[in-house]
Structure formats: structure tokens, C-alpha cells
Amino acid sequence: MDGMTGLERPFVEIDDVSMRYGGTEGTLALHHCDMQVKRGEFVAVVGPSGCGKSTLMRLVTGLWPCSAGSVIVAGREVDGPLSVAGMAFQAPTLLPWRTILQNVMLPLEVTEPHRRRLRSERAMYEEKARKLLALVGLKGFEHKNPHQLSGGMQQRASLCRALVHDPQLLMLDEPFGALDVFTREDLWVEMQTVCETLKPTVILVTHDLKEAVFLADRVLIMSARPGRIIAERTVPFPRPRALDLTYTQPFQELVHDLRDHISAARRGEDMPAAVPAQETTHAA
């Protein structure tokens, strides 16, 4: 299918989605939200705090139903928790009584076809989990418990857990948000390596605009609540990207451009360039 990417149906299609929490008088979190993500694409979603970014993640992974509109992943309407997705959140959420290796292998115990195969092919799966841990620099820590690892190391393990069942879709909600800046930047580079190796489709929610530009192929900007996508920017920098890129003028200009959009969105204004996403042109 690679050769026909341009013609392929988007892997994630969010079509005119609205979401209201707590009945008809409740909070309208998303309103007329449209978004499409191609297979293998890395998309970052940025926007003012409380604009509905996490809500969008919950709808795509089927953890909540939308109030109106449709969410389609891999050609099928999402109507319950999605088994093709791997997820990582701001808090690492590792189970404290399990070793790192056992934590990483957890999704294999609950998603098919792995669950069925795990007993007879445990050695193969364990090798896979070990390889992922080595990829993010955790070789030698397989049999430690989470409390024996730093926050950054726990977050690396969480990323391995999100990836171990070969998810076609990786959903990342502020996964590096709780880390110090050096650890966070190291993890961006590791994340990039993981994505180049495994090539999942990724949706990353972040309030860190540098992170969005460093990691993504495309950045989508949301309005203030009720959230919808008001603009997008394609990130033109070739891969692999090195951290030095973040100090260059074109990188910083793109970050500033995003920041201007978000400031305007917070004030409830539409930037002159904030036309519907499909009509926007790429960053200069």
C-alpha cells in the first residue's frame, strides 16, 4: 500500500465530531471537530489548556463515545475501546508490584491475537519486549520494579508498553510532560528512533510547541473550548532530526507561529491565517 499513500483512505478520520460531558446542560468540550491522519503519519495536536485535546484522544481510542459525528479508525467506526491502539499518558502508570519486563508485557495479556499465543510463544514475546527496552536504553533493568527507576526511565518503560503489541496507532497524551527538560529532549530523540523503526501512526497531544515541531510531520492547532481544529502546519524539516535543530531560526519561527495562533485562540480570536485546516498552506 505504500506506493499509493496519496490515494489511501486516512487511517484516522474524525468527521464533524461534537462531545458534551454531563448531558444537555453539561460542558461542550468539542464542537464540529474535523481531523484526518494518514497511515504512518506523526501528528501533534496543540491548543489552549482545556480546549478538548484529551477528550479527542478518548474519542479516538473509544474510551468515550462522541455525542455527534463519527470517528473512524482503519476504516471502521469506533464504538468501543480500540485494540489497535497503544497509549501512553503523562503519568507512567506502571503497576508497582510487577517488574519492568512484566509491565511492558501487560498489553500482550489482554489484546488478541497475542493473548491466545502468549503461553506457547512466551519466549518470542519476551525477546520482543527486551528489544524494545534496549531501544530506549533500559537494557539491564528488565527485572527491576518501577520504584527502582527514575521518572524518565519509568516513562521510557511506559512507551515500550504502549508499543509491545505492535499497535497500528500510538496515542500519546502529554507523555513527557512530567519530566525535566533534559530527560524530555532525550526522549524526543528516542521516540523518533522508535517511530522510524516501527512506523506506527501517531497522535501526540502536547502543550510543548517545541516538542510538537521536533517530533511531528504535521501540527494541528485547536481553538479554545469547545475545541475544533482551526489551522495546521506541515513541519518541513527532514529526518532524522537532531536536537540542534531546535536552535535554528526556521524551527523557532515555526514555534512562534504556533504560539501566535494559540495566543489568539485563547483570546477567542481567529488569526487571519487560521482558515480551516484543509485550506491552510505550509509554514514558510
User: Which residues are at the interface with ligand ADP (CB under 6 A)?
Assistant: 21-22, 27, 29, 47, 49-55, 225
User: Cα(170)–Cα(214) distance, rounded to whole angstroms?
Assistant: 17
User: Cα(164)–Cα(97) distance, rounded to whole angstroms?
Assistant: 19
User: Cα(210)–Cα(196) distance, rounded to whole angstroms?
Assistant: 19
Least spacing, CB of residue 222 vs ligand ADP, in Å? 7
- What is the full DSSP assignment across 18-87? EEEESSTTSEEEEEEEEEEE-TT-EEEEE-STTSSHHHHHHHHTTSS--SEEEEEETTEE--S--TTEEE
Which residue's CB is nearer to ligand ADP, number 200 or number 227? Answer: 227
Least spacing, CB of residue 180 vs ligand ADP, in Å? 22
Least spacing, CB of residue 262 vs ligand ADP, in Å? 11
Least spacing, CB of residue 29 vs ligand ADP, in Å? 4
What DSSP state is assigned to residue 16?
E
Least spacing, CB of residue 152 vs ligand ADP, in Å? 23
- What is the full DSSP assignment across 89-156? ESS----TTS-HHHHHTHHHHHSTTHHHHHTTTHHHHHHHHHHHHHHTT-TT-TTS-GGGS-HHHHHH
Least spacing, CB of residue 11 vs ligand ADP, in Å? 22
Which residue's CB is nearer to ligand ADP, number 55 or number 67? Answer: 55
Which residue's CB is nearer to ligand ADP, number 47 or number 92? Answer: 47
